[in-house]
Structure 1
Amino acid sequence: MAGAGTAELLLGCTVALAASVQWLTGMGFALIAVPVLVLLLGPAQGVVLANCAAGVISVVGLAGGWRRVRPAAMVPLVVAAACTVPAGSWAAARLPEPVLLAGVGTLVALAVALVMAGARIPALTGTGGAVTAGAVGGFMNSAAGVGGPPYSLYALNAGWSVREFVPNAQFYGIAVNVFSVAVNGVPRLSGPAWAVTVTAMVAGALVGRALAPRARERAVRRLIYALALAGGFSVLVKGLLEMV
């Protein structure tokens, strides 16, 4: 019982922290939450829980900024993601758990490293760049729960401001997570785990909303990157150890 209580406490703290960051920046939930959720619930359930939670938070966040969504850029992203989500789900369902753990950890760490480096990639510009980012993001989201970094790289190469980035990130998050949940299903959690998750999402959103006017964007992003790298490497190490 103590072990279950500890796991639920860690689940709640992780979801609350990730939800507050998602509210502040428009994305980041999966980068922070997926490594911990995968370790707590296993790769399959951890990924689908991240998909569900990130999608719900994006819906709430977009309510006040939907007028700033760029349809011309987002339609190719979303359509491309819809095409590759089934492939990511198919791959994840057929890989052994240690391999999937190592893959999730590697994807998280690599994605964060590219975003941190501010990678300028000519292929991620224009409509072709949107299609490429959406296709990669859709696959990563359904396979590993982290579909945001390709979108971030596309927005970076497009020179979008934070004001443009956040609502479009939320729109993209809604679409790609709806696709992923449609393919992968909803997580199978106990009643107490669902209660903890929902409560933590609400608490995290309230904290993020309260901090938003005072938070420094650079400091928040550094926090996201540090936590995501630590989590990604921990999942990678666990997968490698289980292989051995």
Structure 2
Amino acid sequence: MTGPETLAAAAVALGAFAQAATGMGFSLVAAPALIAALGPHRGVPTVLLLAVLASLLPLSRDWRHVRPRDAGRLLLPALLAAPVAARLLHAVDTRLLAVAAGLGVLAGVALLARGLCLSFLRRPAGAWISGLASAALNVVGGVGGPPIGLYAANAGWPPRQARATLHAFFLVQNIGTALVLGPVPPPWPPVAALALGAATGMALSPRLSPTATRNGVLAVSCAGALALIGTAL
């Protein structure tokens, strides 16, 4: 493998570990390296299919802990918005959108980290806003996680339910977005790296406390917001 391909495989393994351990983080970690190695037109669809696998592996063990109603509340706006976002944003300079979204997520992370409960996120409108924002960011760069991470961190779900519900959401969302953009089969080295990272994260996840899980989701959301801003500037 070349240098960029090796870096991409390492990022995939780390992203799969984060996804299995906290319920999110694969695309936030893996997308920049994969897009750099494969190019944006091939990289984003590849990220989405690998993200499906990153959610499917841990969900095969924890599917009984999914909160179907909560996952559905987030999926409905995300799936409805994906084809609309793909059409509207196809020829648009999305840098301003990425910066605005990144700043919004950073503000939310800071408030939640200080112990503030964002009550509007627990209302139906909060789920719609989170789902719509996630759909737009997933189309732009395959990184729809931060708005959903904020929603989950504010919801107060038990750790195993939070991880399983996030896995279910991202599994369905990434399948839907991949179908909208056109699926691209990933090369085998990232698939092997993903399996290794996911297995390690699945072994660790039962040992994480509620506080550690919540902090992990907030940390991944913060990293994703910084990545959005950094790549747009």
TM over 0.5: yes
Superposition pairs for residues 152-163 of structure 1, below 5 Å?
152-163=149-160
Once the two structures are superposed, residues 3-52 of structure 1 have per-residue CA deviations (whole angstroms, 9 ceiling, x without a partner) of x7011111111111101111111111122122333333333433222211
Assess if the C-alpha contact under 8 Å between 1:27 and 1:148 holds in 2. yes
Matched, 1:32 2:35: no
Between the aligned partners of 1:108 and 1:169, the Cα distance in structure 2 is 20
Matched, 1:202 2:195: yes
Structure 1 residue 139: Cα displacement: 2.2
Between the aligned partners of 1:156 and 1:40, the Cα distance in structure 2 is 32
Between the aligned partners of 1:21 and 1:110, the Cα distance in structure 2 is 22
Matched, 1:59 2:56: yes
Between the aligned partners of 1:197 and 1:212, the Cα distance in structure 2 is 22
Assess if the C-alpha contact under 8 Å between 2:4 and 2:33 holds in 1. no
Structure 1 residue 69: Cα displacement: 1.8
- 5+ residue gaps, structure 1, are 238-244
Matched, 1:187 2:184: yes
> What TM-score do you get using the length of structure 2 for normalisation?
0.82
Assess if the C-alpha contact under 8 Å between 1:20 and 1:207 holds in 2. yes
Structure 1 residue 187: Cα displacement: 3.0
How has the CA–CA distance of structure 1 residues 181 and 34 changed in structure 2, closer, same or farther, with 3 Å as cutoff? same
Structure 1 residue 215: Cα displacement: 5.7
How has the CA–CA distance of structure 1 residues 76 and 227 changed in structure 2, closer, same or farther, with 3 Å as cutoff? closer
How has the CA–CA distance of structure 1 residues 142 and 45 changed in structure 2, closer, same or farther, with 3 Å as cutoff? same
Assess if the C-alpha contact under 8 Å between 1:141 and 1:147 holds in 2. yes
* Corresponding residue SS for 1:93: coil
Once the two structures are superposed, residues 180-227 of structure 1 have per-residue CA deviations (whole angstroms, 9 ceiling, x without a partner) of 0110112376xxxx0211111112112223333556736755763575
Between the aligned partners of 2:220 and 2:72, the Cα distance in structure 1 is 27
Partner of 2:137: 140
Once the two structures are superposed, residues 40-79 of structure 1 have per-residue CA deviations (whole angstroms, 9 ceiling, x without a partner) of 3333433222211111111121122222222222222211
Once the two structures are superposed, residues 77-111 of structure 1 have per-residue CA deviations (whole angstroms, 9 ceiling, x without a partner) of 2111111001222244213xxx4467546645653
Matched, 1:175 2:169: no
Once the two structures are superposed, residues 126-184 of structure 1 have per-residue CA deviations (whole angstroms, 9 ceiling, x without a partner) of 33322332222222222221222222222233322323211110110111111101101
How has the CA–CA distance of structure 1 residues 18 and 141 changed in structure 2, closer, same or farther, with 3 Å as cutoff? same
Partner of 1:111: 105
- Choose 219-228 or 132-141, whichever is displaced more: 219-228
- Choose 220-229 or 113-122, whichever is displaced more: 220-229
| Aligned amino acid, residue 111 of structure 1 | V
How has the CA–CA distance of structure 1 residues 215 and 72 changed in structure 2, closer, same or farther, with 3 Å as cutoff? closer
Between the aligned partners of 1:101 and 1:196, the Cα distance in structure 2 is 31
Partner of 1:224: 220
* Corresponding residue SS for 1:172: helix
How has the CA–CA distance of structure 1 residues 155 and 209 changed in structure 2, closer, same or farther, with 3 Å as cutoff? closer
> Aligned residue pairs: how many?
227
Root-mean-square deviation (Å) = 2.8
How has the CA–CA distance of structure 1 residues 200 and 71 changed in structure 2, closer, same or farther, with 3 Å as cutoff? same
> What TM-score do you get using the length of structure 1 for normalisation?
0.78
Between the aligned partners of 1:38 and 1:103, the Cα distance in structure 2 is 19
